[in-house]
Amino acid sequence: MKSRFQPSQQGNFLLPELRSQLDPRQGLYKLAERIDWEVYEEAFGSLYSEEGRPALPIRRMVGLLLLKYLHNLSDERVVEFWSLSPYGQYFCGEEQMQWGPPSELTHFRKRIGPGGAEKIFSSSISLHGEKALEKEVVVDTTTQAVTDAEQRPGKQKNITFPTDTKLAAKIVKTGVKLARRNNLALRQSYVRTPYPSCFWRNGAGVARTGHWAKKATRKLKTIAWRVVRQLDHSLHEPHVYCLSKGKEHKRYEFGAKASVLVGKQGGVILGAYSLPENDYDGHSLGEALAQVKRLCGYSPSLAIADRGYRGRTHWGETELITPKAPKKSDSAHQRRKARARFRRRAAIEPRIGHLKSDFRLDRNFLKGQRGDSINLLLAATAANLSLWMGKILSALVQILSQIPLHNPITNFPALQRAF
């Protein structure tokens, strides 16, 4: 049922309020004061029943999701961070310091789905005001939840490398369990089959036993295909595909493609769309622009992209331009303007890099296409919130640098306005 949590209007003399103890200049404190939390209450309140056990406050759950991606933490670590940090608890709507775990996020993510994550992302755009609604945007695609084909330690998505022998052994073991659970008769029991094959597979690098290892691998894969044909069941995420991006250091990537739209000047992420299939970049632009129209209420007049978007030049009200040789009739001013635009387009690359390294875009453990969409939207939300906090901090430093502090008593009102 819905949460019964109501903010109290009366203080507690045993537990002082967090508001009176914390530094109001801190980024999370300012962000907690600026976000319109009532939007989430109205958007997600209808997802709860009127009966049953009272649920946890919606603000706390949304705040935990934002803290998870802001600080690049796992579900377990963000719960620990909430328990230890008074700023994290104040950000989640607590009035006094709380003890104990605040509950897990899995059920709440399933409850709100990609639509709820899109609403959270939309509020992070509106946080920047009208300055974020730029007419010229930069667009590019990337891969989230990648697995490096040459450097195997990177395993961000919960899938096995396609050529690993252990995948065939897992198929056999899982198939036997499914057959027993559903009372299906197989040709063999296959209970002990994977273990000798895996044992001989360990000697693949030894000259004396290498041929036995190859034979064991072939036999194990044959048995795995036999079990799959008998069960006709998929044992992996079918939407994960192999992408060849043409990079020198990373020839192949395994994951899901994502389209990102960023404002040309402000750097605010206006669109984050997870592609269900490995489509051509130019074909994905229509859905990405439709998302911007749905979230921001307008369509950009110009989209700047790389040569991977060549083909169609107009998408409704938006014109698409890609780098190309200038015309002989172009003036020097037009050429300089075009060069400046495409140089600015390159700014989206480090933006995507920060999405991956700082906001968990390359560590997606959420399941299926829904999980990919939620992970991408929340990573973009955290990037926008972090950008807002950085702008606030730089503005405060600029204001403080202009205030003469030789007489603190005289300049006390100015200091109050600055903070």
Q: Is the distance from CB of 92 to CB of 102 less than 8 angstroms?
A: yes
Give the pLDDT band of residue 149 (cuts 50, 70, 90): very low
pLDDT of 145 > 70? The answer is no
CA distance 325 to 343: 15
Strand, coil or helix: what is 352?
helix
* pLDDT over 70 percentage in the chain: 79
Q: What average pLDDT score do residues 83-108 get?
A: 87
CA distance 245 to 167: 25
CA distance 36 to 40: 8
Diameter of the chain by CA atoms?
90
Q: Is the distance from CB of 138 to CB of 305 less than 8 angstroms?
A: yes
Query: How do the domains of the chain map onto residue ranges?
Result: 1-104, 118-150+240-386, 165-231
Q: Is the distance from CB of 140 to CB of 352 less than 8 angstroms?
A: yes
pLDDT of 189 > 80? The answer is no
| pLDDT value at residue 148 | 42
Tell me what the pLDDT averaged over the chain comes to.
80
CA distance 186 to 176: 8
| pLDDT value at residue 418 | 47
| pLDDT value at residue 254 | 74
Quick: pLDDT tens for 273-291.
Answer: 998 888 888 888 999 999 9
Sign of the CA dihedral with 151 first, then 152, 158, and 164 last = positive
pLDDT of 224 > 90? The answer is no
| pLDDT value at residue 147 | 43
pLDDT of 245 > 90? The answer is no
Give the tokens for residue 24: 């109001």
CA distance 134 to 88: 32
| pLDDT value at residue 155 | 44
Please name which of 94, 100, 83, 99 lies closest in space to residue 18, comparing C-alpha atoms. Answer: 94
| pLDDT value at residue 261 | 93
Angle subtended at Cα 270 by Cα 267 and Cα 419, rounded to the nearest 5 degrees: 55
First to last CA, the chain: 40
Please name which of 260, 67, 255, 274 lies closest in space to residue 154, comparing C-alpha atoms. Answer: 255
Model confidence, pTM: 0.75
Give the pLDDT band of residue 324 (cuts 50, 70, 90): confident
Give the pLDDT band of residue 386 (cuts 50, 70, 90): very high
Half-sphere exposure of 290 toward its Cβ, with a 13 Å CA cutoff?
7
CATH class of the domain whose range is 118-150+240-386: alpha beta
Q: Which of 2-6, 83-87, 307-311 is predicted with the least confidence, judged by mean pLDDT?
A: 2-6
Q: How far is CA 1 from the centre of its chain?
A: 29
